[in-house]
Structure 1
C-alpha cells in the first residue's frame, strides 16, 4: 500500500508541474499571438483551467510537506499534552473544512455540468470546478495521514511539532 501511495505522490507532483507549465505556455502563447495582432482568446481560458488544477494539487503537496505557514509561539509554551490537544483541534477543524469543500465542490461541479466552458461546445465547465472537490479530497487524505502520524500511538514526541 505504501508503494502505491508513493507512486500516487509522484504522479500528483508530475501533474501539478504539467498544469503549471501548460498555464505558463498558454499565457505566453496568448501574449505572442496578441502581439502579432492575431489574438487567441482561448489561451487564457485554458490557462485558467490549468491554474485551478495546479493550485489544488500544489496545495496538497505543500500540506503534505508541512510547507504551510504556522504560528506556534504561544502553543510551544504549554505542556506536551496541551500541544497534542491543540494539534488535534487544528486537524479536526481542517478536516471539517475540507469535508465542507468536498460537499460544496461536488454540488458546484454537478450544477455546472450543463454550462459550456467559455463557450467551447462539448466542453463542460465541470472540468474546471472539479478541481475543488478533487483537491479537497486529496488534502483530506493527507490530513488523515498526518493525524495518524502525529497523534497516533506511535507518534513521536510533540516537542517541535507544529499544531
Structure 2
C-alpha cells in the first residue's frame, strides 16, 4: 500500500509541474500570437483550467511537506498535551471542511456536465470543476495521514513519505 501511495505522490508532483509548465507555455504562446495579430483565444481558457488543477495539486504537496503558512503564536505557548489536542482538533475541522469540498465539488461537476467549457464544443465544464473534489480528496488523504501520525505520536509523520518522494 505504501508503494502505491508513493507512486500516487510522484504522479501528483509530475502532473502539478506539467500543468504549471503548460499553463505558462499557453499564456506565452497566446501573448506571442496576439502580438503577431493572430490571437489564439483558447490559450487563456485552457491555462485557467490547468491553473485550477495545479492549485489543488500543489496545495496537497505543500500540505504534505508542512510548507503552508501557519501562525502558531498561541500553539507554541501551550503545554505539549494541550498542543497535541489542539492539533488533533484542527485536523478534524480540516477533514470536515474537505469532506464538504469533495461532496460539493462532485455535485458541482455533476450539475455542470452539460455546460460546455468556454463555449468549446465537446469539452465539458466538469473538467474544470472536478479539480475541487479531486484536490479536496487528495488533501483529505494527506490530512488523514497527518492525523494518524499525530495519534501515534509519530513526530516524523508524513515527512517520511515526502522525503522518499524526493
Give the TM-score, by structure 1 length: 0.93
SS in 1 for 2:73: coil
Q: Structure 1 segments of 4 or more deviating over 2 A?
A: 154-157
Matches within 5 A, 1:76-95: 76-95=76-95
1:111 corresponds in structure 2 to 111
Aligned equivalents of 2:43, 2:124: Cα separation in 1: 16
- Counterpart of 2:27? 27
Q: Secondary structure at the match of 2:67?
A: coil
Q: Aligned partners of 1:130 and 1:102: how far apart in 2?
A: 9
Structure 2 distance, partners of 1:124, 1:79, is 52
Structure 2 residue runs of 5 or longer lacking an equivalent are 157-166
Deviations 1:38-62 (A, max 9, x none): 0000000110110010000000000
Match of 1:50 in 2: 50
Question: Counterparts of 1:156 and 1:60 in 2: how far apart (Å)?
Answer: 19
Match of 1:155 in 2: 154
Cα offset for 1:156? 3.7
User: CA RMSD, aligned part only?
Assistant: 1.2
SS in 2 for 1:15: helix
Residue 150 (structure 1) shift? 1.7
Q: Partners in 2 of 1:34 and 1:141 — Cα distance?
A: 42
Q: Number of residues paired by the alignment?
A: 156
- Residue 60 of structure 1 corresponds to which residue in structure 2? 60
User: How far apart are residue 128 of structure 1 and its match?
Assistant: 0.4
Please report how far the alpha carbon of residue 123 of structure 1 lies from its aligned counterpart in structure 2 after TM superposition.
0.6
Aligned to 1:161: none
